Structure 1
């Protein structure tokens, strides 16, 4: 969905109140030629750069700075430090330069004296993308010493990267302890985009699908949406946590990180949920062989998943199909956060049914998360901030928004 050009009016909805209250917008900041800015981005695109929406979302903010003559040092993460998936960002710099219509210098370092010198040497209007922040172990632990090193690349910071707004990292909340900061339009517009799906609205029926593998889908999404939505459909690792919590054997099914914590949380969440939770009685399993699957078969979940097999898809219960038809008839809102089944591996039964329903005229649906958006064919509204979006939908606030409010009250507010 293409959004209109930035205007202040788009920040006046109730969903944006947490951001608007004492948070400074980059749109309100007069950019002075020659100023040194750090832009905290969220260019965490998958290997192969199939989905570029997280980069595209930040282009207008970076262009505004550069077109006004600022010298812009861009910081971003990609992959993870602890599993060795943090990659170099040279291809991202090339793509960003094409979108901006100007050269984007790629500097593989980001904390060295050489990196600082490169940032200072930028001409007015110059843009440089510095090395992956997750090459440093202190990025994800919000090491203040690392944040101080990042801060040498500029004199003010524009905070974008909605996809990491639920994380307190050195390159976002850490930087806001070191420099005066402003919220990028790319950050605030995501809040406006999500406003129709935030909070409880008992006048409008609601259904949430929670899939994927990340722990926040269970720890944040399942916890919050089971209290604010009418129906919750666990899928992916979230379903596997729920099944384990109910005492079912799930074999080699995907459990993601922190499986024990997520299973324990699922048990507590199910005990206090106000939403009706869908737990399938029939699933499709397949024999796991590395990253591929073979020998698919249907089983009743009460039988347990045998060793060597994993759940790859599931069947919707009759009551859920009845509810979906009812909701589609009277109008409803829906969230799909995480791919429901292993769609790219050819197991699309549940995913296809849910997507077809979500595309009905009276179903106001949104897809959340970079992987979800890139994997599923859907023509409606999307948000690349999976965990951030779930956090905001449940709490109407985010760590980055809190940090921006604190930053706005700091002594440098007149900078």
Structure 2
């Protein structure tokens, strides 16, 4: 499905066609990706709705507009919106200590040396705050970072591993026994912080986190296919997921993707015990575009207001201490962002210096992606949303996100 008119929303139709042609020629035809949905929303309409390739190579099922994708870390912005809804209701404050909601974390230490069973720690310079969880300055980590003895302990205890066993509550209990990587606020490290926020949302709202998302976000926005599992009646729409290499690895030339998760035997077909606000949702292009349109419009869509415009303004500002960009503060071996010229807000990365990124964009555009190469960004200055959905692990396998930014911004003819 391509362009429906020759000139749309201040964008060159010929250059929008180039977006679709590039994805088709460089990614679908070469076998790098099985299929992809690319949508460009500008000035109140879809300027591009491109649906290419296959949702399931093994069964030769074509990609469709209503195909269901694992969005992994694109769950994080949704969880962050849930937190900020409770902030607006004064049920959570950004400077609340996390121990107010998780008392067992009141004496978390900072790693000084040693390995699991023998960690040496010191007291943090200050307590972990809710804002630290939103901006990943909490001192927590991910096991896949493979950087320190602390993330090794995460791997051993399967902390935040999206495992089919275990619960969110059990993850919180495990984390109470592990040290922090650093004192909160001293560095940025991509982490299980957003999973912890899901736990806090459930505790403060006195309802299961997944119920809060459904009743307060998905139902009001009409996100009918977004959930933590795929029900039987929707299985035929669920994409296969593929993998090439390993998370953070450098690909060998010509390396081809292999099936990683079969949609007919996937763990996603049953409700999980571990409800991951950091990476557990599935969704569709239509659903996630509605979420992104709500963000673009300052917290409201079709009469459903989730947040106030000033709250969105706060969320999409750079909250890194000192106003620096990620290279000045990051300790992550991996995250879903390029770093130069990019800051981090309350649930999103945000461009603070477009020239430093060496890619076209706008100061104040905000974005995030998921482990299976999904990606979205919102550019309020250009009244623009771009959504890219595919299913290939890891997200760093190919530079498609950077290329998509270049292609889309080069299609804008009227600002």
Fold in common (TM above 0.5): no
Q: Which has the higher helix share?
A: 1
The alignment's TM-score, normalised by the length of structure 2, stands at 0.24
Q: TM-score, normalised on structure 1?
A: 0.24
Structure number with the bigger relative contact order (C-alpha 8 A, sep ≥ 6) is: 2
